[in-house]
Structure 1
């Protein structure tokens, strides 16, 4: 064989058709993979952006300004006032199709709101020589009013509307009904100058001012179950007089107080009961009171005066546990006489017209002026708001005009969401969330502060438990544990993350919470006994003879801590009984409540911290362990070779290098804790309170959305407020994650050169 044949190397041809096809296939796969990854990333970003804008779309209407415009569009709907005489009362029915007017001539007229065409007219039947001397409205929502007559009698009437559907078309038929009968009720001995009325289907009360005398007529109505006849039992009494003759009288729905508008801007309060007495005389204004009305529910008094001041008053308990009429708030109003005032029938809204024709709409809960817009050149004679607050009927001179009102969410303002609000019946301003109640005159309370506080409180206690356990466990597993043991421990801990949170919440609420209440002292004893037991066992094991220590394979001695922890827990719980008897009177929760004044709720933040911490630990542990294990070994070996101890290498080399990953683990764990729903929902009392007490519950934003979204009306204020809660949660998570990413990049840049 020749030398040339011996040194011949076979030539490789990389340009064969097969190789070209292989390269083309690889290039195609690379492009497909890159495109798929890019599309996936862009899709995630688009999904997040779309969620953001959808939440914003649902929330934006909450802060839209109110508007008022002619009912028919740009052209004003105006027509002559039907009937004769001066208007005593003006109203609009539910569908805003029929208006109702009562005049001082006793005419009661139903008419079309858009054309003024009269539908029905009735004349008040009066004895000869008897005149109308006063008028009183029970409330806008009740549609019930009363005439006070010159002979000391009164008539109670209600305007009502029946709906029928002939040929599939809705037809409204107005009617007048007499709740206490058509016969006049004798209330006073002389002409009734002012009248206050209050009642329901069973009991009625009428208070009349005649000269200097105040008289009360009470009616108790009983229906005979056999004949169906209604028997009326009457009782009369005289009441003490106010210091000055009142300009107007109103009675609270509970028949507890009589409020009087007095001259020189004063308010008189009479406590009704077995022994009526004038309990308060207050100066409400430097001018004269021009408006004096009860807000929806009859708990608040709304006062307008000749100085253009509009204020709200309601009863508050004082230090002596007595109710006192208290000035709560003033509303922004320009300095012009308030000549007309009416209230909404289903919300805490107030509508005023000033002497200069300025229309103003307010909401008492939000302490907000929703609208201020000029409507006429001068004062109006009467105003009426439809029950749905979407239509306004105004009499200006001898003309009626009909207006459309767009005011969907007046009870919302930033102060109502994030500041303390003084709600009706409360002794002071508070943060409160209570979105619904059983009565129709309920004042919604939409403070987001208790929910935001509860979210942070739950996350804090969960992270307080999870952070040290997860990070310390990850450090030991990644840096000190032998590989064979690590391969068993790490998957077991990560498997914990697969547990459904609803199961954890179920166990926390039905087993852990009662267990902790029954063994509260034992829990705290265990917190002391377990660390001491671990330290003592470590010291003892380290000083054992080598022949005993070497019985356990190197690196597996940490497994001996498992029975130590179990025995220490058993010992701690066993010591709970003697400890409670010796220091806590036999029951620690009762001792905390009675002796220390710390309320104890069975489902509290401590239960949530343990249950939610258990759910967060696998997330933090897994990411932290991977970050520490991924630190290049040559850094550790180099540090050890230079004489550093294992602990010094860990704290000065390994942990700084792994700090970006550890920080990311904490932020992801915190995000999990903030957004957790089921554990918080089932393991707490789910009460929206602001209390740092670890033994009290809370309600989080996520849990509140889960509980109340199914029962909220689509498009309502409640519905959009829940979306706002979701928007706040989204922004909080986004801001925290953005900040965390910035810190992570800073740590990576700082320690990346190691």
Structure 2
């Protein structure tokens, strides 16, 4: 008989073929999972970096320097006609145009300087010359017999044999015999033309006069008939510059010392002196006075190298005054300056032969290069500002200009800028307008402010409701009820934000406007009503209270909340009539002085808060519910109440998760597009007023990216806005992670 000691203990063999294969498969799975997770994580990081680099790639050209390169140089076309009074080119920079001292108008080939066409002045040698504007191609000559001749350059483009052919010509809109503007020899003149009238100011040796030609269309012959009105104006000794304002309301007459008289031309029969202004400082002499494109800003260059910008600003009495806005300074005296045809840019030529190019809006100097060793006489931009003509003693020089984004600078993006027509410097975003003379306004401050404002009001609504709801659901609610409530709230996150924005903009905003009294009264009535109901419930007999299982009491609040909400809406007209004379919006606007917009931050707060609540609630509830039960039970066993346990044990332990929930919710609010796009009115203003709308960075991108020209300043500014949003989100997430790790370390030992 064998004993137990004699029996062999079975041995386990871990090296069987099946176990070896199992270990190899498991090791392969582990390595595959490790590699897959590493590749996935690295891909995410790489994708984020690529997005960042792509945004920087699109933004970088905004701040790159401009360049100017010599292209052609030749003697002055038709040199025998004399120096140039005016230089320009047509759109394609193939045909150049100059007006010579003797009045000849010469078209030439920009590539080699060969004369294409020469038009002799029909009235002989002029004694005065003026350009209406570079964009209109309209010019005027004055003569010793007091006549003025208005001419215009035109270009006809044809494509014979598939090759572009530009044919230039000169036309005379008011006839080639001229208009008798004065009875004295004209020494200086200025002209301003519009569809309804033309105004000409002329100055002689001792007299000055204004002529206004009103245009009337004969409905039978469809010919333009002119009615002439003349008026004498006070003569200014040593008159050096004349300018008529773009609306033909004012005449500016300046002498060599820079003293300027402003005359009011609105009543042509009674021209009055409106103002007197000193345009230059100290002992400097006036060099040039010209209008910037748009005919709003007067640019004044003086012999000290200073160029100052002036435009009309209304005072407290609604009276316009020509006001100094900003200036730029060159180290030496200036010879002349030229205006860009389509942007708020200008160039100066100084005594050294250095050409500097500036942008008036951004106060940015983009080019400062010496282009000639001789004394320069005249410079001029091509219509697209991608070419520059310079005339000096040796002839004519043509330069290619690469200057794509002069209107953008850090100060124009983030600082206050005094824009034309504004009463003071402002932060303004306005990227387009109906006319070509528009001054782009690319301040990102209103958009950044609107983004923060929308997120603030959304979080103001969402955070208290979401966190308090999560606390009750995770800690006090019955498990069976929790299993129903939590999925329903998380399901709210699946609602498309475009639907929320649609409902907020078309239904909730008008409803809120009609029931403002209810919206404010419910903030008081609902908390008080719930507390009162809770107090009454606590005073009921225990037999009644025990009929509701522990943790199911929130269901009792549903009819209470609905009833209180209905009561507030029903009482809204009564409250409005009793306290606000039946018009609470009028009270807010007129009595409180607060502007009211139907689609405002209050609407966004409710709508976007509704979208953010599920995110914050779900993460917060999981964080609180994940607190070990041993901690809560230990706290209760030591005599702490439920509330003390919640505030001193559960919330500190769950604080990293709660903080992450708030930050993720804030990131969702900052990046939200459709709700703010449809419910805010998209007004880019900087006002923290809850009754005003806003425009956010994300909404602005959604609205304007499809309309922007690829590669334009507007296009790249929008990418800069996207980069700012990217950086803002990155900074917020970095701060959030830092704080979360700190909280985790601090309370991890509980």
- Taking structure 2 as the reference length, what is the TM-score of the superposition? 0.97
Aligned-pair RMSD on alpha carbons? Answer: 1.5
Q: How far apart, in 2, do the equivalents of 1:590 and 1:212 lie?
A: 61
Report the alpha carbon displacement of residue 181 of structure 1 after superposing the two structures with TM: 1.8
Given that 2:77 and 2:115 are in contact with CA atoms closer than 8 Å, whether structure 1 keeps it comes out as no
- Which of 278, 282, 287 is the matching residue for 2:277? 282
- Which of 392, 405, 428 is the matching residue for 1:396? 392
Name the residue aligned to 1:253: 246
Given that 1:332 and 1:369 are in contact with CA atoms closer than 8 Å, whether structure 2 keeps it comes out as no
Q: How far apart, in 2, do the equivalents of 1:79 and 1:46 lie?
A: 58
Which secondary structure does the structure 2 equivalent of 1:132 belong to? Answer: coil
Alignment of 1:567-578 (within 5 A): 567-578=563-574
Name the residue aligned to 2:56: 56
1:271-303 Cα distance to aligned partner (Å, 9 max, x none) = 111232111111111321101100001100000
Verify: 1:612 aligned to 2:608, yes or no: yes
1:75-103 Cα distance to aligned partner (Å, 9 max, x none) = x6344443321211111111111111111
Q: How far apart, in 1, do the equivalents of 2:14 and 2:256 lie?
A: 108
Report the alpha carbon displacement of residue 27 of structure 1 after superposing the two structures with TM: 1.4
1:95-153 Cα distance to aligned partner (Å, 9 max, x none) = 11111111111211111112111111111122xxx631100000111111111011000
Report the alpha carbon displacement of residue 2 of structure 1 after superposing the two structures with TM: 4.3
Verify: 1:687 aligned to 2:687, yes or no: no
Report the alpha carbon displacement of residue 697 of structure 1 after superposing the two structures with TM: 0.4
Given that 1:355 and 1:378 are in contact with CA atoms closer than 8 Å, whether structure 2 keeps it comes out as no
Given that 1:219 and 1:232 are in contact with CA atoms closer than 8 Å, whether structure 2 keeps it comes out as no
Name the residue aligned to 2:192: 198
Which secondary structure does the structure 1 equivalent of 2:565 belong to? Answer: helix
Report the alpha carbon displacement of residue 223 of structure 1 after superposing the two structures with TM: 4.5
Verify: 1:87 aligned to 2:81, yes or no: no
Alignment of 1:580-591 (within 5 A): 580-591=576-587
Name the residue aligned to 1:150: 144
Name the residue aligned to 1:135: 129
Report the alpha carbon displacement of residue 574 of structure 1 after superposing the two structures with TM: 2.1
Q: How far apart, in 1, do the equivalents of 2:171 and 2:379 lie?
A: 23
Name the residue aligned to 1:506: 502
Report the alpha carbon displacement of residue 245 of structure 1 after superposing the two structures with TM: 4.3
Name the residue aligned to 1:449: 445
Gaps of 5+ in 1: none
Which secondary structure does the structure 2 equivalent of 1:208 belong to? Answer: strand
Which secondary structure does the structure 2 equivalent of 1:381 belong to? Answer: strand
Given that 1:192 and 1:209 are in contact with CA atoms closer than 8 Å, whether structure 2 keeps it comes out as yes
Which secondary structure does the structure 2 equivalent of 1:45 belong to? Answer: helix
1:408-447 Cα distance to aligned partner (Å, 9 max, x none) = 1000111101111110011111111111000110001111
Name the residue aligned to 1:45: 45
Q: How far apart, in 2, do the equivalents of 1:201 and 1:477 lie?
A: 72
Q: How far apart, in 2, do the equivalents of 1:642 and 1:482 lie?
A: 24
Name the residue aligned to 2:725: 729
Q: How far apart, in 2, do the equivalents of 1:694 and 1:196 lie?
A: 51
Verify: 1:543 aligned to 2:539, yes or no: yes
- Which of 533, 552, 559 is the matching residue for 1:556? 552
Alignment of 1:618-637 (within 5 A): 618-637=614-633
Given that 1:212 and 1:245 are in contact with CA atoms closer than 8 Å, whether structure 2 keeps it comes out as no
Which secondary structure does the structure 1 equivalent of 2:79 belong to? Answer: coil
Cα gap change, 1:131 to 1:105, in 2 (>3 Å):
closer
Verify: 1:528 aligned to 2:521, yes or no: no
Name the residue aligned to 1:485: 481
Q: How far apart, in 1, do the equivalents of 2:583 and 2:612 lie?
A: 31
Alignment of 1:120-131 (within 5 A): 120-126=117-123, 131=125
Verify: 1:189 aligned to 2:186, yes or no: no
Name the residue aligned to 1:19: 19
Which secondary structure does the structure 1 equivalent of 2:127 belong to? Answer: strand
- Which of 262, 267, 274 is the matching residue for 1:269? 262
Verify: 1:420 aligned to 2:412, yes or no: no
Deviates more, 1:10-19 or 1:697-706: 10-19
Name the residue aligned to 1:638: 634
Given that 1:100 and 1:110 are in contact with CA atoms closer than 8 Å, whether structure 2 keeps it comes out as yes
Alignment of 1:252-331 (within 5 A): 252-274=245-267, 275-285=270-280, 286=282, 287-331=284-328
Q: How far apart, in 1, do the equivalents of 2:44 and 2:435 lie?
A: 45
Cα gap change, 1:113 to 1:439, in 2 (>3 Å):
same
Which secondary structure does the structure 2 equivalent of 1:247 belong to? Answer: strand
Verify: 1:172 aligned to 2:163, yes or no: no
Q: How far apart, in 2, do the equivalents of 1:550 and 1:339 lie?
A: 96
1:468-521 Cα distance to aligned partner (Å, 9 max, x none) = 000011011111111101100000000000000000000000011001100001
Q: How far apart, in 2, do the equivalents of 1:113 and 1:439 lie?
A: 30
Verify: 1:496 aligned to 2:489, yes or no: no
Name the residue aligned to 1:650: 646
Given that 2:153 and 2:170 are in contact with CA atoms closer than 8 Å, whether structure 1 keeps it comes out as yes
Given that 1:250 and 1:259 are in contact with CA atoms closer than 8 Å, whether structure 2 keeps it comes out as yes
Deviates more, 1:172-181 or 1:469-478: 172-181
Q: How far apart, in 2, do the equivalents of 1:240 and 1:118 lie?
A: 42
1:159-183 Cα distance to aligned partner (Å, 9 max, x none) = 1211111111111111111122222
Report the alpha carbon displacement of residue 226 of structure 1 after superposing the two structures with TM: 5.2
Given that 1:513 and 1:602 are in contact with CA atoms closer than 8 Å, whether structure 2 keeps it comes out as yes
Name the residue aligned to 1:675: 671
Q: How far apart, in 1, do the equivalents of 2:373 and 2:551 lie?
A: 92
Report the alpha carbon displacement of residue 614 of structure 1 after superposing the two structures with TM: 0.3
Which secondary structure does the structure 2 equivalent of 1:191 belong to? Answer: coil
Q: How far apart, in 2, do the equivalents of 1:201 and 1:165 lie?
A: 31
Deviates more, 1:576-585 or 1:151-160: 576-585
Q: How far apart, in 1, do the equivalents of 2:186 and 2:98 lie?
A: 22
Q: How far apart, in 1, do the equivalents of 2:9 and 2:510 lie?
A: 82
Q: How far apart, in 2, do the equivalents of 1:19 and 1:212 lie?
A: 116
Cα gap change, 1:201 to 1:525, in 2 (>3 Å):
closer
Q: How far apart, in 2, do the equivalents of 1:281 and 1:246 lie?
A: 14
Report the alpha carbon displacement of residue 376 of structure 1 after superposing the two structures with TM: 2.1
Q: How far apart, in 1, do the equivalents of 2:8 and 2:612 lie?
A: 66
- Count residues with an aligned counterpart: 745
Deviates more, 1:435-444 or 1:106-115: 106-115
Deviates more, 1:267-276 or 1:695-704: 267-276
